[in-house]
């Protein structure tokens, strides 16, 4: 890598799955995120952790719409997750 090149994180390769019965949110691979947040439909932060690098997260989500905010390398991505 030279002084002018920039490496960026590709969020499209990060897949989130959730099994409501077990309350386990699983990521494919190792996400190595600077931060992760789970928000409800009203924007209330239900979960927040910096330096997240786990392959799974134990968190019970009731049936509703949630937003996962993923941060890495000064980039943010919002994922809408519908739990049935």
Write the pLDDT tens digit of every residue in 23-65. 778 877 778 899 999 999 999 999 999 999 988 888 888 888 8
Question: Is residue 18 classed as helix, strand or coil in its secondary structure?
Answer: strand
Model-level pTM? 0.76
* pLDDT at res. 11: 63
- pLDDT score of 35: 93
The pLDDT assigned to 3 comes to 46
Strand-pair category, 33-40 with 56-58:
unpaired
- φ/ψ of residue 41, rounded to 5: -65, -20
| CB neighbour list of residue 39: distance below 8 Å, 6 or more residues apart | 45, 46, 66, 67, 68, 69
CATH fold, domain 11-83, is: Immunoglobulin-like (2.60.40)
Tokens for 59, please give them: 């968190």
């Amino acid at each position: 890598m030279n002084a002018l090149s920039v490496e960026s994180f590709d969020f499209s390769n990060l897949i989130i799955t959730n099994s409501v019965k077990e309350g386990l949110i699983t990521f494919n691979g190792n996400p190595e995120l600077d931060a992760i947040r789970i928000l409800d439909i009203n924007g209330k932060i239900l979960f927040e952790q910096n330096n997240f690098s786990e392959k799974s997260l134990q968190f019970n989500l009731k049936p509703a719409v949630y937003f996962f905010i993923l941060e890495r390398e000064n980039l943010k991505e919002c994922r809408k997750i519908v739990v049935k």
